[in-house]
Structure 1
């Protein structure tokens, strides 16, 4: 069975690799990017099954126009991939509103608007998939990633609620949580707080150094990640959460173990909080 896709953020990274993989297996794809000129090679190689359009998720109307293009050209959408986004490094005290507010506009509000624009087409299709590109940063907070963590934690909560809302329509939600993969994420897709306070050199500063030392050297292979995502999309019962790579699994297992340990320690006291409890 072939699918009709709408993928945001296809100029590079996992979004680009995923769009290419879907096209290579014969699916139809509306590939989007802020600058659609970056998609000309996709169009040239797949003139019958690929359409490209500008989509800046922070601009009102762009998502609705992309959805209309998908309906006009391919008759609808079966798979929405919310991939557009970027990262930000810096301690919470170092960040400024003009740095972190645009991050939320793209990573959170842009996802909301794109999802709202495409949901009528998914319901019309009688089912489908919504792939939310989260991150290991959506599993556990890390010093220096706080603002990016906040956007991905918001995406995780949004997606879990959305999954319950759209399940009756036959629409499955897949939250993809990659660890480090060798894309442009640590390069052109990463912003860094302009202020760098020496007080945070050993905490948030470690993330700045990580970026400098690991850009282009990440262990994860994007094509292998996309292979797993495609298998999840094709699955009869897709996973709600899909961590990818050893780092993402380590983050999840470490967090859950600490969470349960803390719960067990405080449970006898924390449960005695109802009226009438001693």
Structure 2
């Protein structure tokens, strides 16, 4: 089989770096984009330029994203898989999160993801065409399923779910939301380095305990195993829409299902009466 072409955002560290290494080790082609391409320089001697391309790409800049996809088209003619992975995180209470920090995270996690999503769908539809189609892997979090205190601004999945409903099945585009639990990746180190002090009203509260739980050595999730699992699922003919990764993610799924079932059981009869009767 011909190698698949993967475009990965946020490829310089963490999940993105691991996925890039898996793609390359399995003989596929990797377009590794990030705001820090030199962080991937050690891969250059191991793979020829036909298999590995490093691009400086800031997902908050639409022109950078357009250039990355255009370069991929000119070099390889198509992209099979886009891993929409670039992201940042902060931990703080809703009241204690500075606007400038929250807005920056939304620029990367929401608008950056949305920008890559739009370009990936357009590319799959108009460049690849329905015969090839494409796979869009959205890196989200278990927090999109059940929230954690102190991480209120972190995960946004609504856009992806709406997108899936909008896609024409004839385009042959598949979308998978990857929802990991707590993993021991460099993002936890960056979280400690950019720590926000506890809001005075919440000292000793649930969000403060989240800060303690997110110490790098506290995380039990192995990102190497996690991305190996994701890579294998991504190569399947049919992708699931939701992919929980890690036992804590599974627990979050179960808890959310229980909460929704309880709400359904308690309120179905009365909620169903809120319609016009004429």
TM-score, normalized by length of structure 1? 0.91
Which residue is 2:135 aligned to? 129
Structure 1 Cα separation of the partners of residues 58 and 29 of structure 2:
21
Among candidates 71, 81, 84, match of residue 83 of structure 2: 81
SS in 2 for 1:89: coil
User: Unaligned 5+ residue runs, structure 2?
Assistant: none
User: Unaligned 5+ residue runs, structure 1?
Assistant: none
Deviations 1:126-178 (A, max 9, x none): 31100000011111111111111xxx2x3x22112222333331111010000
Which residue is 1:175 aligned to? 177
Which residue is 1:146 aligned to? 152
1:208 is the counterpart of 2:211: yes
Which residue is 2:71 aligned to? 69
Cα RMSD for the two superposed structures: 1.7
SS in 2 for 1:32: strand
Moved more, 247-256 or 58-67: 58-67
Contact 2:177–2:241 (Cα < 8 Å) also in 1: yes
Structure 2 Cα separation of the partners of residues 23 and 49 of structure 1:
7
Q: 1:90 to 1:178 in 2, by over 3 A?
A: same
SS in 2 for 1:273: coil
Structure 1 Cα separation of the partners of residues 271 and 14 of structure 2:
44
Residues 1-278 of structure 1: pairs in structure 2 closer than 5 A: 1=1, 2-47=3-48, 48-123=50-125, 124-125=127-128, 126-148=132-154, 152=155, 154=156, 156-166=157-167, 167-188=169-190, 194-201=196-203, 202-211=205-214, 214-276=215-277
Contact 1:183–1:216 (Cα < 8 Å) also in 2: no
Task: Compute the displacement of 1:186 (Å).
Answer: 1.2
Query: How many residue pairs get matched?
Result: 270
Structure 2 Cα separation of the partners of residues 119 and 258 of structure 1:
34
Structure 2 Cα separation of the partners of residues 139 and 111 of structure 1:
18
